[in-house]
Amino acid sequence: MPDILKQIEEELPKGVVSESIFEGANIVLYTDNKEFFKTGEEKVKEVVNKIKKRIELRADKKILASEEDTDKTIRAIVSEEAGIENIIFDVQRSTVIIEAKKPGMVIGKGGSILADIKASTMWSPVIQRSPAIHSKITEKIRSVLYANNNYRKKFLHEIGQKIYKDWSPEKMDMWVRVTYLGSGRQVGRSCLLLHTPNSKVLLDCGINPGIAEGPERFPYLDVAEIGDLNSIDAIILSHAHTDHSALIPYLYKMGYTGPVYMTAPTRDISALLALDFVGVAYKQAESPIFRAEHIKEAVRHSICLNYNEVHDITPDIRITFYNAGHVLGSAVTHVNIGNGLHNFVYSADTNYRKSRLLDPAVNRFPRVETVTLESTYGSKEQVLPPRAEVEEKFIELAKKTIENGGKILLPELGLGHAQETVLRVEEAVRTGKLPEIPVYLDGMLWDITAIHTAYPDFLSASVRSQIFQDNNPFTSPILKRVGSPAERKQVIEGGPCIIIATSGMLVGGASVEYFRHLADNPKNLMVFGCYQASGSLGRQIQEGTKFVKVNDNETVEIKMQTETMNGLSAHSGRNELMQYINRMSPKPKKIIINHGEVSRCLDLASSLYRMNRVETVVPRNLETIRLK
């Protein structure tokens, strides 16, 4: 048993701890002493204050009430108004997961109801919000995490053993470097390797969505720095978009067995997008590069952290997630290396503007020496107009199209951008700015939107307030789900409507099907609101091509109106990128520019250098940058 566990046991009354175990960087003490379980929290807090690590006290299986009795007790203690939808027992970890429509009513004032449940049953209750829209993927993920959980308990303990084996509270003297395996001077296949003498951590692992096949679609995973995949200690996933997440199940297929750190919404949505990735391959009569069982492995090995939660992931690396403002659950990762030796901020994709859906990205940290910054919209010409101005233009165009009997197609990224669009359109119809017409959601949008309703704490203050007041905009009656080809046919043949469909770049997905049928009618309108990757069908149309191939056998003439609405992106524009750095506290000593086309990266780097007189670097893929 590692020394830290022995040290904790020695600090507590003799014999009260039946088992001490790691759950990642956290420590769990099990006791078969009922009295100590009920009264021992103060003693445990004293130890926490001494060793400065998170410790949880749980009951040993021997003293737990039966599952049947515990279920009855919970339902008797908790008001029916709380809307308990599910009670799941994680026997191996002595926890009971209570899913409810109103979690606050399960918690009680000051946690009083939770305390009653714990004292009455000995189970440690965990409260989760049930989605306002039913979500099969969330159910499946929770069943993977809690069913037959011996493996997960063992896995988490082994992670803790590795973390604490060489852990030291002292500042370490060592080198730190980062290698770009993707996203260097390009948008797509984000993947960085953070490397110290003791640790290797992969930051994201995605595909290039604008490329259908060939080596340029994937990061450079065959580099000598990686070698055996299990030489990687951890993966950090910033958010669920496929250019950051899609290859993570593939790593598990190829033998990786370590942890992947992310927020809970990112876990749910990345699993859903990975399943869709497999489904698209089958539809195109191709063999997928991974299968559903590999997605399940990624979920089984996931460790979810909340924003502002400090967590050790290796003996010399500690991370904290902060809101990135980009999509639900997206994270700016503050990486503390060597107990304060170097502080690296991996910002991934950010939005430094407040949107309907999310609050702006965080740029205040305890310490910063090096920061990465995306350059998706980094050039001088990409100053985004005020959002209100763009939305007014959209409503004007949409109103005119509806009056002329046309349909409006909004190709969307299924995550983030689409939900922002849903909120915008729902508000416009609700307030009478647009006539009351149906708004159809097709592709994965419905399931991803359902996941949003399970995690209101990650949403903007205004949307959170609406949800808590039972005025959930995502459950508006104007929103209609399209779930089958027959329903899609009805939408195409029906009257004026707004169609929000994936994919946002017209690279596969439901949006291509709608485009095929709507493109030859000049009454119809298609609006691009999100980034169109080089080589994508969306980019070709955006650049003015009048005849495009939608598949190997079909060419479509574009007669419909097409508009690009800059200013609706879930990414920061040029001004926001500059402000993100200029207002950052503390000021970084080095800025690494990535995730942008070459000219945009160089333009942004040059401007930031001139304004801040701080070192700026624009790495190519396969380049290594020494941070310390």
Is residue 508 scored above 80 in pLDDT? no
Cα–Cα dist 538/517, whole Å: 16
Average pLDDT for 70-85: 96
CA angle (75 as vertex; 74, 81 as ends), nearest 5: 120
Q: Strand pairing of 624-626 and 302-304?
A: unpaired
Neighbours of 254 (CB within 10 A): 14
Domain ranges of the chain: 3-61, 64-130, 166-381+574-626, 387-564
pLDDT-derived band at 49 (thresholds 50, 70, 90) equals very high
Is residue 98 scored above 60 in pLDDT? yes
Minimum mean pLDDT range among 127-141, 175-189, 252-266, 604-618: 127-141
Q: 64-130 with 166-381+574-626: one CATH topology?
A: no
Average pLDDT for 283-290: 85
Measured CA distances, 471 to 81, 429, 452, 467, 475 (Å): 17, 15, 14, 5, 8
Cα–Cα dist 328/448, whole Å: 10
- Note the pLDDT of residue 148: 62
Q: Strand pairing of 615-617 and 590-594?
A: parallel
Average pLDDT for 418-443: 92
CATH, domain range 3-61: 3.30.300.230
Mean pLDDT of all residues belonging to the chain: 92
pLDDT, tens digit, 9 for 90 and up, residues 597-611: 999 999 999 999 999
pLDDT, tens digit, 9 for 90 and up, residues 551-579: 778 888 999 999 998 888 889 999 999 99
Pick the CATH number of 64-130 from 2.40.37.20, 3.20.20.70, 3.30.70.260, 3.30.300.20: 3.30.300.20
* CB of 379 closer than 8 Å to CB of 207: no
Is residue 534 scored above 60 in pLDDT? yes
What phi, psi does 421 have (nearest 5°)?
Answer: -65, -45
CATH topology of domain 387-564: Rossmann fold (3.40.50)
pLDDT, tens digit, 9 for 90 and up, residues 518-533: 999 999 999 998 888 7
Average pLDDT for 477-486: 91
- Tokens of residue 2, six digits: 């590692």
- Note the pLDDT of residue 1: 41
Is residue 342 scored above 80 in pLDDT? yes
* CB of 595 closer than 8 Å to CB of 154: no
Q: Is the dihedral of CA 160, 226, 250, 331 positive or negative?
A: positive
pLDDT-derived band at 2 (thresholds 50, 70, 90) equals low
Q: What percent of the chain has pLDDT over 90?
A: 76
pLDDT-derived band at 283 (thresholds 50, 70, 90) equals confident
Cα–Cα dist 316/312, whole Å: 8
pLDDT, tens digit, 9 for 90 and up, residues 315-331: 999 999 999 999 999 99
Is residue 279 scored above 90 in pLDDT? no
CATH 3.30.2230.10 fits 166-381+574-626, yes or no: no
- Tokens of residue 54, six digits: 């998170």
**Calculated CA dihedral for residues 417, 128, 321, 386, nearest 10 degrees:** 30
- Tokens of residue 472, six digits: 């959930």
Q: How many residues does this entry show for the chain?
A: 628
Quote helix, strand, coil % in the chain, to nearest 5. 40, 20, 40
Cα–Cα dist 530/532, whole Å: 6
